[in-house]
Amino acid sequence: MEKGTSLFVDVLTLKPQRTVGEAQAYFDKIAPIAARHGLHRVTAIAIDRKMRGHEAVNPHLVQLWRVDGGTAFAELAGDPDYRSVIPERDALFDMPNLQGWFGAVT
């Protein structure tokens, strides 16, 4: 990946009884929608064990997204196709405990 590429690291915790497979199916639906607004999923990593870290932070999935443009998230949030899958998102993920960071390739 080219130096300076803008990235978003998405750290996701599933609700009880939900699976990484269900999350992957959800992201397969929204990835094309996100791409229309400059968000491109680079990779997803299923977390299968913890080496160390804060006791209360136990994500199930980490994703890396390339971000093309400073308004990508605002545009996505306003897209009717994205808004139609928000109930599915909220049923899958522990929304108050999601984490995300922006950065750039060094």
What confidence tens digit (pLDDT) does each residue in 47-98 have?
Answer: 999 999 888 888 999 999 999 988 999 999 999 999 999 999 999 999 998 9
Q: Report DSSP state, residue 14.
A: B
In this predicted structure, what is the pLDDT of residue 84?
Answer: 97
Amino acid at 18: R
Residue 17 backbone zone (phi > 0: left; psi -120 to 50: alpha; other: beta): left
Q: Does the reported pTM lie above 0.85? A: yes
Percentage of residues of the chain with pLDDT beyond 90? 91
**What pLDDT is recorded for position 92?**
98
Counting beta carbons within 10 angstroms of the beta carbon of residue 53, is it exposed (0 to 12), middle (13 to 18) or buried (19 or more)?
A: exposed
Distance in angstroms (rounded) separating the CA atoms of residues 82 and 76: 7
- Average pLDDT value for residue range 26-53: 96
In the prediction, which pLDDT does 59 show? 94
